[in-house]
Structure 1
Amino acid sequence: MKLFSTIILTLFTFLATSQNYKSLVEFNRNDSIVAGQAVIYGSFIQRLGFSSGGFAQDVRIINMETNEISAFRVKPAYKSAKENTFCYSITPGTYAIYNYWWTQSKWYGAKFFTEPIFKNIDSRENLDVKIKSGQLKQEDLTPFVFTINPNSLNYLGTWHFDTGVVKFSNDKLILDNKLKDKYKFIEFSKATTLLPN
């Protein structure tokens, strides 16, 4: 009975905090960039590694002009690799990283986390308490932003989400070499480098 109650409570909590969002469309090996659209790609280093239990992980971004929230998968289900690549079609616009949705494997199933992402802030550790106490002010909560132009290919860097304070690095040449045989119709050498800042 206790296990059943825990599962119901977890499901209720997840549904209560859910938001309307659309999923970005993964860019496939034989695709080419659709006129007026764009492509983003990069690497993602996840928080948990093997202890993720094979659960998927997503990042949600918000279009700052339309307020539309989009999600994209940064760690596929059933994979435990610490670092994964991503490549998605996206509508041009200016985006802010909204949150990181991840799941931790537990003996009773799973524990879900929806973690807001801000510059130089570890959101895992009592963010609400820090805001309510005045330790953090609204102006301290600065999002990471990037702007995507139409008909463009954009390298967004290596996303380091493996620690509490998120950062980004430029490993373009390494990733381009890794992806060039998979995506036949993309010239990665012509991609614009746009690390979220």
Structure 2
Amino acid sequence: VTIFSVYIDDGCIVCDACEEAAPDVFEVTDDTCFIKPTVRIDGGFDRNMDQSGLKPEIISAMSDDILDAAEACPVDVIMVVEDPPSEAAEAEEAPVPETPEAVPEEAAVEDVEVGEGIEQLLTVGDRSLDILFGSQSGNSEDLSAKLAKQAKGYGLEGTVHDMDGFDFNSLSGKKRVLIVCSTWGEGEMPDNAEELWQQASADSAPQL
């Protein structure tokens, strides 16, 4: 079987079976499963309902894993596309413009460069994302862990930190910081966030 694309149909039960079979291709979210941008030609991060093709190197290296994931899906929502859409079908679906315009050669070259630039943005430079959580019951901590997991789909390396004991002065050296915190009881601050808040709100706090 030669795979062209794969997408997720309606009805995913987020059982993680696909991600266990092919973690480089599938990422299970809170309510469905996404096809990772690093394996898709269009670089998108969603269910791939448009059936964007997979990169040739992915097809070569991971076809068996993708087929195993589709076989393991208990609700059969992983749809493997073996052939690209036919030109005839595309011609029927595509509207015919009244006044077609030729794309200047310069514009075509620019589009390629922009596409390459987007891929570089997802893979080069400092990809760190520091996620700080303040949590009394554990909900914010769980959400932070999920955000760190989803960040991988955008080329980021998420690291989760408990606010309790976190070095406030180190924030100035962080590239990206995401703070997840919620109140509890009658609007009280989580116990593990109080010390960091005191440091941040002090008159002597450094400018970030």
TM-score (norm 1): 0.24
Greater per-residue strand proportion: 1
Greater per-residue helix proportion: 2
Identify which of structures 1 and 2 has the higher relative contact order when contacts are C-alpha pairs closer than 8 Å and 6+ apart: 1
Q: Which is higher, the Rg of structure 1 or of structure 2?
A: 2
